[in-house]
Amino acid sequence: MVLARTLRLVAIALPVVLTACAPKSWVVLLPDEDGRTGRIIVSGEEGQTEVAEAGVAASLDTPKPETFKVTPYRIEQTFGGALAAQPKPPAVFTLYFESGGARLTAESEALLPAVLAESAARDGADISIVGHTDTTGDPADNKALGMLRATLVRDALVAAGLRLDRISTESHGEGNLLVKTPDDTQEPYNRRVEVVVR
């Protein structure tokens, strides 16, 4: 009896609670692809709140954002279209070079077909190519060498049929080390070109 009455009360109260918690404009945090969850800071006209838990939402149309939990069902109902339109996440390839010049290691040369296949598998693919060097020699020379490495990879991809206008090429020289080393240090893992296929 008591239980039935409680349930009835909940049934009456629930729509009221849901209405109170149903802003027209809101944001909900999701876990990242790798399973971790980041943070968002939501600001209204009169205050702000932080959300750091997946499945927790905050209103965007109240002076001070109010947090509330949302079910996966409601997320799917509201955001099914936006979720369905999510592009495939970018794919990253790292190609390594022999010391000094712009000659790929044999293993990295063998990765080229995988880069081409990844690009072919995407509609409207674009590619970023960034060249890097180790700390051997002068930083300005290394900037040029990084560009030479990036250009070599670009030319190979274009020769294999990729569109030049959707490829961007740049060099970070020795300014973006994968393995931190002192100056003038040979480091195979720093002699690389990073190719991002989007």
| Sites for another protein among residues 104-163 (CB under 8 A) | 104, 109, 112-113, 122-126, 128, 136-138, 141, 144-145, 148, 152, 155-156, 159-160
What's the rounded Cα separation, in Å, for the pair 70 and 74? Answer: 6
List 37, 105, 181, 185, residue binding another protein (CB under 8 A): 37
**Which region, judged by CB under 8 A, interacts with another protein, from 7-15, 86-94, 177-185, 187-195?**
86-94
Residue with smaller CB distance to another protein, 32 or 183: 32
What residues are paired with 67 via a beta bridge? 58
The backbone region for 35, taken as left when phi is positive above 0, alpha when psi lies in -120 to 50, beta otherwise, is left
List 11, 12, 84, 106, residue binding another protein (CB under 8 A): 84
Q: Does 39 interact with another protein (rule: CB under 8 A)?
A: yes
Residue with smaller CB distance to another protein, 12 or 85: 85
Q: Does 35 interact with another protein (rule: CB under 8 A)?
A: no
Q: In the bound complex, what is the minimum distance in angstroms from residue 190's beta carbon to another protein?
A: 15
Structural contact between residues 32 and 86, judged by C-beta atoms closer than 8 angstroms: no
The dihedrals phi and psi of 77, each to the nearest 5 degrees, come to -60, -45
Q: Which two tokens stand for residue 125?
A: 């693919």
Q: In the bound complex, what is the minimum distance in angstroms from residue 7's beta carbon to another protein?
A: 31
Helix (H, G, I), strand (E, B) or coil at 78: helix
Q: Does 184 interact with another protein (rule: CB under 8 A)?
A: no
Q: Does 172 interact with another protein (rule: CB under 8 A)?
A: yes
What residues are paired with 129 via a beta bridge? 169, 195
Return the residues of window 53-82 that contact another protein according to CB under 8 A: 59-61, 65, 75, 78-82
Find the length of the chain. Answer: 198
What's the rounded Cα separation, in Å, for the pair 56 and 71? Answer: 9
